[in-house]
Amino acid sequence: MDKIIVEERQGNPTIKKSKKRNLKKLYLESYGCQMNFSDSEIVASILDKHGYQTTRNFLESDLILLNTCSIREKAETTVRTRLKSFNKIKKNNPKLIVGMLGCMAERMKESLLEQEKLVDLVVGPDAYRDLPNLIQEVEGGQKSVNVLLSREETYADISPVRLDNNGVSGFISIMRGCDNMCSFCVVPFTRGRERSRSPLTIVAEAKQLYDQGYKEVTLLGQNVDSYRWNINKKGEKIEESNPTTNFSELLEMVALVASDLRIRFSTSHPKDMTDDVIHTMNKHKNICNYIHLPVQSGSSKILKKMNRGYTREWYLDRIQSIRKIIPDCAISTDIITGFCDESQEDFKDTLSLMKKVKFDFSYMFFYSERPKTLAERKYEDNVPEKIKRTRLQRVIDLQREHSILSNNSCVGKVMEVLIDGVSKKSDLDFRGRNSENHKVVFPRENATIGTYVNVLIEKCTSATLIGKIV
């Protein structure tokens, strides 16, 4: 991701031809994090086996599913607006089924099903296997819902239908759920408790992607550093007959699939990021020199209130370890302004931490209270929105300075870039990313999408490196 501020995205699934004759069309639209986009590929696989072929055109679809995000109020507003537009189409096509998946499902089910009547079915992140049954119920004239959370479901046996547009970069979900009860976050309530997939299924999926021509995979989890297979929370082996695997070991296993398969991962948690992971990254050239390490605030007081499990000093120690072991590693972060009781001094701590670290890029928000979170129940949302927005703008301005510094340091260097598509601004240019996750744009020449090229960086903006193939 290259933008300074993250924004909700819509998925445009490519048409996936099934081995069997499909009779119905499925249109999937995804919002929010990469986990949602990965989940949509699982949904497409489940429904492919039940006669649904994905389409880019919602006007020709029999089934429209929105995979939703609850992390911010804006995301929910966007989804509600989109559902209203689909219901206008439904008036001319009464057989059209409209459903909502994902993180908004449990919280919004009654409102969207019964009060506003915007959807026919609501399905939570752990109930996608039940989709065919729920669709049958809707076809029989009922509204259907399944938002039950699971302690076991990982969808490890499902081979996802790849909905990406380029066939170069793919996502692999290595775990589901989250055990970190950050006071501002709704994820533990929408995605349930943490559970990890078998490392063998993850490696097999990476090999399958590589055999299909993919050149990059991103290992996904709400907190990848807490991945553990056959290990309990105390670090003890669960089944003596099977080996244990932690995240650094899994990272190495996937890196060994192929030397020209790039490996990325997201998201790391500062309290669980170990030096072992950093050393593994340094050991393997195909593990990208990039870590997304959300700090949220530079104030230890606010971090405690957020229940993040670390202090400002702990976070800076992790940054120091990364810089020491991988000096050229790019680091990005998440920052929230205006959390409950954030004073001007607390905010200055955030700015000073940014100046110490100089993040390559950041995803920045002002605090938006989410229902059912600890903060909503326990704290007063007492920072005026005007102050939240003013502080956010200062963070954005500072990050822009740091992003320009980061990109300027690349000018004059030759970087290996994986081409992932055509530039949005000109068909004459390709776009790609280097190991540090910087966006690079350059003239196409005779290169092809899905290959590595060496690019001399000649100039830059705050978001993009610009160069030529050498």
* DSSP string over 225-281: GG-EESB-TTS-BS-TTS--EEHHHHHHHHHTT-TTSEEEEE---TTT--HHHHHHH
Q: Give residue 94's pLDDT band: very low, low, confident or very high (50, 70, 90).
A: confident
Q: Where are the domains of the chain?
A: 24-146, 169-408, 414-469
CATH class entry, domain 414-469: mainly beta
pLDDT digits (tens, 9 = 90+) for 280-315: 999 999 999 999 999 999 999 999 999 999 999 999
Structure tokens at 204: 């097999």
pLDDT digits (tens, 9 = 90+) for 46-93: 999 999 999 989 999 999 999 988 777 777 888 889 999 998 888 888
Rounded mean pLDDT of the chain?
90
Q: What's residue 240's pLDDT? A: 65
pLDDT digits (tens, 9 = 90+) for 422-447: 999 999 999 999 999 999 999 999 99
Q: What's residue 70's pLDDT? A: 76
Structure tokens at 452: 């590595």
As a CATH number, domain 24-146 is 3.40.50.12160
Q: What angle do CA 140, 141, 143 make, to 5 degrees?
A: 110
pLDDT digits (tens, 9 = 90+) for 223-263: 999 999 876 666 666 676 677 899 999 999 999 999 999 99
- Highest-confidence segment of 87-101, 116-130, 329-343: 329-343
pTM equals: 0.86
Which helix (H) or strand (E) covers residue 139, if one does? Answer: helix 131-139
Coil vs helix vs strand at 74: helix
Q: Give residue 37's pLDDT band: very low, low, confident or very high (50, 70, 90).
A: confident
pLDDT digits (tens, 9 = 90+) for 204-222: 999 999 999 999 999 999 9
- For the segment(s) 169-408, the CATH number from 3.40.50.720, 3.40.50.2300, 3.80.30.20, 3.90.1150.200 is 3.80.30.20
Q: What's residue 107's pLDDT? A: 76
Residues 6+ apart with CB under 8 A from 166: 420, 421, 449, 450
Q: What's residue 3's pLDDT? A: 32
Which helix (H) or strand (E) covers residue 453, if one does? Answer: strand 452-460
